[in-house]
Structure 1
């Protein structure tokens, strides 16, 4: 993102921020149900939002606390909820968007949401190797983070720096441990990417569980997205053998066993 694009984004977000504060200060009626999807990147959260938005009574925003810091995150979120017409509102947020972008304590923020009757949906991905590779591959594809069913996948193999990959795995696992600790005393619906979202056949069952958690009727769901790394890793990585060798020298070798997990 160049300077001009950043300034345009900054002005857009700040205008939206002021509007959200105005709405949060007015005696407006918030949606009956409110929820937050708490998840890391490349864990299927965008897919989950897409599936949830299939429901006509739900509006699920994506990462509204990303990149640019807002003055009052909680009020900003409440204002975003106040502007929608649907009975249920949600958004997704990542732990590092709270710590790094917003400079706030994740546990305190989620606790405040919980105290104001927001429900927490926690989505995690167990295979930190596939998660990290998914991110690095997306960056190398010029930030092609998500693919719709009509888009094609660039199968040109890319070089992955083994040291960079291992550091990214460590980072993902550290966040996973932090998430576990801060959610210990907070009621939430736990979901796992590999068992709940990876296989499209499980989507309806997973969403039925979410709809029940939110206290609303179920509907048939369908996504517009498809997996970006559905094939074995060797189809995407130029130095695949080197990556396998490097990972086998670490405590993360177990993740290689799930070669078919996208």
Structure 2
């Protein structure tokens, strides 16, 4: 498990038994022991009267960390991070049972986690559509978070990769250096995100889900409470004034993000991705 995630759990009053000793042992466990440990824990779930369980289905750099933080600001909800990421566990054959085991450790009526389509495909060797249907059939609510502007998604990807900065905390925004991003890099990442988006839509076919667009519902702080209260209603929770510790990293003015933005912009204007540029 990522150290930052561990520290977050240690500080949370919403989680049972996750103390330093437990997490230290967990990180040293063989992969199979981690899996079967949570399989076993899932049988304890029957004694818990949870309101609902949920799964956030989203790619990286879509605002999922912010969404998790906003959800966790509700007193009756707790959302884990990427519990099926390859650096946490691999080869989980029964994702629903594994996730149900995790819910045993949470004290809130609503418990969930987030997962990426490529984590299911590559780390767990699972068909995303089957996994999401299994969760839905077992009463889990599905939340689909996505970015509509794949150009901005790609630039966010590349900037984070090049600077090593993925999130900003608190009120004081740090000055970020300009980065070199060329058209070929953007094209490569946009195509990757397009393929992931198609895989997500295929996986979601036939499933009832709550849809969140990063651009329309999440990136603007003024829309977050309204969006989250609609989500809380979907989860059967009361309204709540939400808050987040995170600041937006990538500026709206890309000339203050990319060192030679004029050259990139010119290439984009003569490319299949011009509509993303016009939509900004």
Same fold by TM-score greater than 0.5: yes
Deviation for aligned residue 1:85: 1.2
**TM-score w.r.t. length of structure 1:** 0.89
Which residue does 1:236 correspond to in 2?
257
Deviation for aligned residue 1:112: 0.4
Which residue does 2:82 correspond to in 1?
63
Deviation for aligned residue 1:84: 1.2
Which residue does 1:113 correspond to in 2?
135
Deviation for aligned residue 1:10: 6.2
Which aligned pairs between 1:86-101 and structure 2 lie closer than 5 A?
Answer: 86-101=108-123
Tell me how far apart the structure 1 counterparts of residues 140 and 30 of structure 2 sit (CA, whole Å).
23
CA RMSD of aligned residues (A): 2.0
Tell me how far apart the structure 2 counterparts of residues 205 and 53 of structure 1 sit (CA, whole Å).
16
Deviation for aligned residue 1:86: 0.9
Deviations 1:191-239 (A, max 9, x none): 1111101111101110110011011111111111110012411101112
Between 14-23 and 112-121, the greater mean CA deviation after superposition: 14-23
1:44 paired with 2:63, answer: yes
Deviation for aligned residue 1:71: 3.0
Deviation for aligned residue 1:27: 5.7
Deviations 1:150-192 (A, max 9, x none): 4533431111132121011011112212222221210111111
Determine if contact 1:58/1:89 at 8 Å carries over to the other structure: yes
Q: Relative to structure 1, is the Cα distance of residues 126 and 12 closer, same or farther in structure 2, using a 3 angstrom cutoff?
A: farther
Tell me how far apart the structure 1 counterparts of residues 129 and 196 of structure 2 sit (CA, whole Å).
13
Deviation for aligned residue 1:240: 1.0
1:248 paired with 2:269, answer: yes
Q: Relative to structure 1, is the Cα distance of residues 13 and 140 closer, same or farther in structure 2, using a 3 angstrom cutoff?
A: farther
Which of 199, 220, 234 in structure 1 is aligned with 2:220? 199
Which 4+ residue blocks in structure 1 deviate beyond 4 angstroms? none
**TM-score w.r.t. length of structure 2:** 0.84
Between 63-72 and 190-199, the greater mean CA deviation after superposition: 63-72
1:11 paired with 2:28, answer: yes
Which residue does 2:40 correspond to in 1?
22
Report the secondary structure of 1:237's partner residue. Answer: coil
Tell me how far apart the structure 2 counterparts of residues 166 and 13 of structure 1 sit (CA, whole Å).
39
1:83 paired with 2:105, answer: yes
Tell me how far apart the structure 1 counterparts of residues 85 and 30 of structure 2 sit (CA, whole Å).
10
Which of 62, 67, 74 in structure 1 is aligned with 2:96? 74
Unaligned runs of 5+ in 2: 1-23
Determine if contact 2:45/2:104 at 8 Å carries over to the other structure: no
Between 196-205 and 234-243, the greater mean CA deviation after superposition: 234-243
Deviation for aligned residue 1:33: 0.4
Determine if contact 2:180/2:259 at 8 Å carries over to the other structure: yes
Determine if contact 1:28/1:82 at 8 Å carries over to the other structure: no
Between 85-94 and 241-250, the greater mean CA deviation after superposition: 241-250
